[in-house]
């Protein structure tokens, strides 16, 4: 990593979005700009623990939710695109 803070207007990358969302909820886990927090930082943070690792679409219990239908539609589209 280059260790440069990247904060474009009106856009986030995944870990930056999560950090900003946590900050809005009053949870400050790092004493650095959100643009310098990487996914690996979450894995190494002593206050956090991994509770699930894998595809979101494979998360237990998801099959009984509206989200499961949305995930299946995405899979169908991806399958159709691969078939072309």
Total residue length of the chain: 84
Question: Pick from 30, 39, 44, 17: which is nearest to 7 by CA?
Answer: 17
pTM of the predicted protein model: 0.59
Structure tokens given for 47 = 């206050």
Query: CA 39, CA 37: separation in Å to the nearest integer?
Result: 7
Mean pLDDT of 65-73: 69
DSSP three-state, residue 69: helix
Mean pLDDT of 28-51: 93
Q: In this predicted structure, which of 3-7, 13-17, 25-29, 30-34 has the lowest mean pLDDT?
A: 3-7
Q: What is the pLDDT of residue 3?
A: 66
Phi–psi pair at 62, nearest 5 degrees:
-70, -25
């Amino acid at each position: 990593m280059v260790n440069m803070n990247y904060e474009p207007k009106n856009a986030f990358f995944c870990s930056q979005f999560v950090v900003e969302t946590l900050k809005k909820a009053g949870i400050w886990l790092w004493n650095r700009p959100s643009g310098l927090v990487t996914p690996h930082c979450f894995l190494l943070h002593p206050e956090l623990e991994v509770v699930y690792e894998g595809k979101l679409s494979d998360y237990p219990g998801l099959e009984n939710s509206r989200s499961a239908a949305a995930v299946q539609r995405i899979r169908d589209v991806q399958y159709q695109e691969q078939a072309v």
